[in-house]
Amino acid sequence: MLFCWLYLYLVLQKFHRDLPPTPVFAYGLSRKTATIPGPTIEALHAIHTHITWKNYLPAKHILPWDPTIPTAIPHKKKGIPTVVHLHGGIDEPQSDGHSSSWFTAEFKESGPSWTKKEYHYHNLQHPGTLWYHDHAMGLTRVNILAGLLGAYIIRQPHVETPLRLPYGDEFDRPLVVFDRSFSTDGSIFMNSTGNNPLIHPQWQPEYFGDAIVVNGKAWPFMIVGKRKYRFRIINASNARFFRFYFSEDGLGFIHIGSDSAYHDKPVLINKLLLAPSEIADVVVDFSKLTSDSTILSNDASYPYPSGDPVNEANSKLMKFIIKPNHEVDKKKIPSELIKYPSPDPSSASVTRYIAMYEYTSSIDEPTFLYINGKPFEAPATETPKVGSMEIWNVINLTEDNHPLHIHLGLFVALDQTELVNIDEFKACMTKANDAIKCRLDKYARGKKIEVPAHEKGWKNVYKMMPGYVTKIVVRFSYIHTNESYPFDATAEPGYAYHCHVSNPLY
């Protein structure tokens, strides 16, 4: 077992040479080493990790936040609440980072479901890439914007080594990508006035920054050799989708894993669409380039898919400078990776209908975004059994693409079907909130969208297209063994599923 402490501090970080140092919240082993993103935690499969997260954040937040939405507020109103969620981790509910399990500096105050200082991560799941981030109720967005995020990797050497993928700190790199806006004094800029200030003085449903930050630097560069590199790309933005591509024709991505799971076979793609909180595990082969540099670019509109086109500042993300070298990279990406058992939808024990609603003001600005017409703090309505498999039909009645994240269980997307006469169906759902009573089968008969080849495997986030029903099959057991969990998954405070953009958590 591994025991360690990670601290949360207010520090200064320089994001760009032309910017003054920026006050941020950061994870680290000490104040001197705390950075954004936080340290990449590497765990070995089946070796348990115990982490005590120590809150040394100041009494006052560096960003504006809105207490009119459900928010973690200490009784004495002193200190900044935080709690850490290991995104993609399959662990006990007491260590999952429930939004009401927050705590302030030195654990002086805590939320109603907080029970323990030391979190226990079992690392018994399949190998892959995860990330950790703040998850406090109502403060998740501002705490992450302030910097509370980092990468977490589970390795299983006897399974992964035979694949002969790029390995080592130089050739196997997380790329944590997010957007921020900065004031001239270097501070992170966030609008302090909400879209509906008479309802929510500060809250806005989405945040879009002008600058793109990769691994803590705005518009960075990386010197690479003419060889293959593995990049674990984590979209840590609040609301910005990225559609990555390279400026050089012919250079693409060898997609080997999605979220925390490997594919059974690599998939070659030229463009990579990644939603907030989604992870792509890719290999890029720079040996094929004839030029001495290439730029990782983005052309996803914001909000996605029907928002504004990207501008010059957020269309260019990162430059790769190719150094001449004499080494010959003879390693090939294997044609077979790791094959996990595919789910059998016919064996699902339950079929559920999950509807996403957006409520707007008289000027058509979003005021609330609910799942199944209920706020996050409402009692749990989905109570699956450990070891079970379920079919979920996720109905997106909003105008935006929403990345749905499910804690504890992994799922496979089956298909997406367009809703016809959606206004009629939406009117019924707004009144009855019952997909069966509103005859979903009558409306879910439009265009079908096939799941892309590189997203057909096991995932913990999927992009729910607006005006579509997305069918997924969810498994509540380990995907590589189908074994049950070694902890009580029914214990309090339970687990969550939520959109990773517009909800009280984010």
Q: Give the count of beta carbons closer than 10 Å to the beta carbon of residue 445.
A: 14
- Mean pLDDT check: name the lowest of 190-199, 207-216, 276-285, 397-406: 190-199
Tokens read off for 491: 């214990």
CA distance 67 to 74: 12
pLDDT exceeds cutoff 60 at 505: no
The mean per-residue pLDDT over the stretch 142-168 comes to 96
pLDDT exceeds cutoff 70 at 326: no
- Mean pLDDT check: name the lowest of 358-362, 431-435, 436-440: 358-362
The mean per-residue pLDDT over the stretch 40-60 comes to 96
- Domains in the chain and their CATH numbers? 2-159 (2.60.40.420), 172-322 (2.60.40.420), 345-499 (2.60.40.420)
What does the DSSP 8-state code read for residue 363?
T
Amino acid 502: pLDDT: 56
CA distance 148 to 362: 35
Which residues have a Cβ under 8 Å from the Cβ of 354 and sit 6 or more positions away? 371, 372, 382, 392, 393, 394, 395, 404, 497
Higher pLDDT, 326 or 42: 42
Q: Are strands 221-224 and 149-155 parallel, antiparallel or unpaired?
A: unpaired
**C-alpha distances in Å from residue 285, one per residue of 139, 248, 266, 315:** 40, 12, 13, 22
The mean per-residue pLDDT over the stretch 317-336 comes to 87
pLDDT exceeds cutoff 90 at 233: yes
Q: Rounded to the nearest 5°, which phi and psi values hold at 369?
A: -130, 115
What is the residue-averaged pLDDT of the chain? 93
pLDDT exceeds cutoff 80 at 473: yes
In tens, the pLDDT along 254-271 reads 999 999 999 999 999 999
Tokens read off for 97: 């980072």
pLDDT exceeds cutoff 50 at 148: yes
In tens, the pLDDT along 93-146 reads 999 999 999 999 999 999 999 999 999 999 999 999 999 999 999 999 999 999
Tokens read off for 87: 């995104």
